[in-house]
Amino acid sequence: MTESVVAAAPMVLADRVCKNFGALQVLKGISLEVQRGKVLTLVGPSGSGKSTFLRCINHLEQVNAGRLYVDGDLVGYREKNGKLYEMHERDAALQRRDIGMVFQHFNLFPHRTALENVIEAPIQVRGIRKAEAIARAEELLERVGLSAKRNAYPAQLSGGQQQRVAIARALAMDPKLMLFDEPTSALDPELVGEVLAVMRELADSGMTMLVVTHEMGFAREVADELVFMDAGVVVESGPPRELLANPQHERTQAFLSRLL
Ligand code: ADP
Ligand code: MG
């Protein structure tokens, strides 16, 4: 591909992506795009394959058919003379380190402070000098409103604070894409807003984001596109306000009415 084509490529391009676990078909031909600097929210019932799709983008799962590109690069395979070969784990790790992921359960290292959690990957994976990693981590903790908690351990933080540390930790790797998998689903209701506020600030700063969430207010106000998925297929997609106000498919209508 020429430079100009690569520059114009969407950050994520899924072309009829299929994934099965044995006989269980989980993704049945997912096609979607996330443009650079945009926010796409992915919604759908439990078990519809949302997490599996995010894990494919990050190459924690290998797709079985179809193609998935991140930043113009084929994920999980390399192509030679028109044939696909599975990528070596080392190359997959290189692709993965440019993608930030935030999970429902924050997965912080319990025996490390907030600051130590944030500096871990930049030092271990990127080989950044400790002083530099600390300076950057302090900036990021400030950005998520947690400067005062830099020396606190996860157990000393609320769920919302832990999730904000997890976001700072992902950002410390300077990702070009951020994936969020139900980042507020494990939080007490009063803590949801502080995490969504950090995500909104990130979106406003131009980060490309793919967010699985049930927070329709966030989808309506922050996302550029809403994709509704059910049973491994994209049922419908469009601008969030339009889709939420006027869902076309019965399955979307049923899902949305259950959320309200
Ligand atoms: P969602 O995130 O939309 O709730 P998931 O992607 O987690 O859905 O799961 C979709 C389906 O795939 C579910 O039926 C789930 O049980 C199945 N699944 C997910 N991961 C695995 C796995 N590693 N092995 C077998 N089945 C799996
Ligand atoms: Mg899930």
Dihedral angle, C-alpha 103, 105, 106, 111, nearest 10 °: -140
Q: Please give the helix or strand (H or E) that residue 97 lies within, else none.
A: none
DSSP 58-74: TTSS--SEEEEEETTEE
Whole-number pLDDT of residue 106: 86
Edge-to-edge strands, sheet with 24-34? 24-34, 12-21, 65-70, 73-74
Alpha carbon of 32 to ligand 1 centroid (Å): 19
Whole-number pLDDT of residue 112: 98
Beta-sheet pairing, 209-212 with 225-230: unpaired
Alpha carbon of 228 to ligand 2 centroid (Å): 14
Domains and CATH numbers, the chain: 1-98+176-259 (3.40.50.300), 109-175 (no CATH)
- Collect all residues with Cβ–Cβ distance below 8 Å to 243 and sequence separation of at least 6: 226, 228, 236, 237, 252
* Nearest one of 183, 182, 228, 224 to 204, comparing CA atoms: 224
pLDDT, one tens digit for every residue, the chain (260 residues)? 445 555 679 999 999 999 999 999 999 999 999 999 999 999 999 999 999 999 999 999 999 999 999 999 999 998 888 888 898 888 888 899 999 999 999 899 999 999 999 999 999 999 999 999 999 999 999 999 999 999 999 999 999 999 999 999 999 999 999 999 999 999 999 999 999 999 999 999 999 999 999 999 999 999 999 999 999 999 999 999 999 999 999 999 999 998 86
Alpha carbon of 213 to ligand 1 centroid (Å): 16
Shortest-distance Cα residue to atom 24 of ligand 1: 21
Q: In whole angstroms, give the CA distance from residue 16 to residue 91.
A: 23
Ligand 1 residue neighbourhood (C-beta within 6 Å): 21, 24, 26, 44, 46-52
Closest ligand to 52 CA?
1
Regarding an ipTM greater than 0.95, the answer is: yes
Best mutation site among 42, 52, 54, 63 for ligand 1, i.e. most ligand atoms within 8 A of its Cβ? 52
Shortest-distance Cα residue to atom 6 of ligand 1: 49
Backbone Cα Rg of the chain: 19
Alpha carbon of 212 to ligand 1 centroid (Å): 14
| pTM recorded for the entire structure | 0.95
Alpha carbon of 172 to ligand 2 centroid (Å): 24
Q: In whole angstroms, give the CA distance from residue 203 to residue 227.
A: 17
pLDDT digits (tens, 9 = 90+) for 213-244: 999 999 999 999 999 999 999 999 999 999 99
* Nearest one of 45, 74, 12 to 224, comparing CA atoms: 12
Q: Please give the helix or strand (H or E) that residue 239 lies within, else none.
A: none
Shortest-distance Cα residue to atom 22 of ligand 1: 21
Q: In whole angstroms, give the CA distance from residue 164 to residue 40.
A: 20
